[in-house]
Chains A and B, each alone.
Chain A
Amino acid sequence: MNGVYDLGGVQGFGPIESSNSGEESGLGHFHEDWEKRILGMALWVVGSGMPLEYMRYCRERQFPKNYFDRSYYETWLYGLVLALIEQGEVTAEEMIRRGLITQEELDMAISLRQDALAGPSILQAREMTPPQFKVGDAVRTIVQRPSGHTRETRYSRGMMGVIEHVYDGNDVGEIEARTFADARGTSLEKIERPLYTVRFRGSELWGDFAEDNTYVNVNMWEDYLEPAA
Chain B
Amino acid sequence: MRIGAQDTIRVVENTPKVHNLIVCTLCSCYPWGILGLPPVWYKSGPYRSRAVSDPRSVLAEFGTVLDDDVEIRVWDTNSEMWYLVLPERPAGTEGWTEEQLMELVTVNSMVGVQNAKNPSELGG
Contacts and interface: CB of A to CB of B under 8 A. Distances in A.
A205 B55 CA distance: 13
Interface string A188-229: 000000010101001001100111111111110100000000
B83 to A, nearest CB: 9
B49 interface: yes
Interface stretch (A2-10, A104-112, A113-121): A2-10
B120 interface: no
Contacts of A181: 79-80
Interface string A58-81: 010000000010001000000000
A59 B7 CA distance: 22
A206 B53 contact: yes
B53 A18 contact: no
Counting chain A residues whose Cβ lies within 8 A of the other chain, the interface size class is 35 or more
Interface string A2-31: 000111111101111110111100001100
Contacts of A15: 46, 61
B74 A214 contact: yes
A179 interface: yes
Interface of A: 5-11, 13-18, 20-23, 28-29, 43, 46-47, 52, 56, 59, 68, 72, 151-153, 155-156, 165, 167, 172-174, 176-177, 179, 181, 195, 197, 199, 202, 205-206, 209-219, 221
Interface of B: 1-8, 10, 25-28, 36-41, 43-50, 52-58, 61-62, 68-76, 78-81, 107, 113
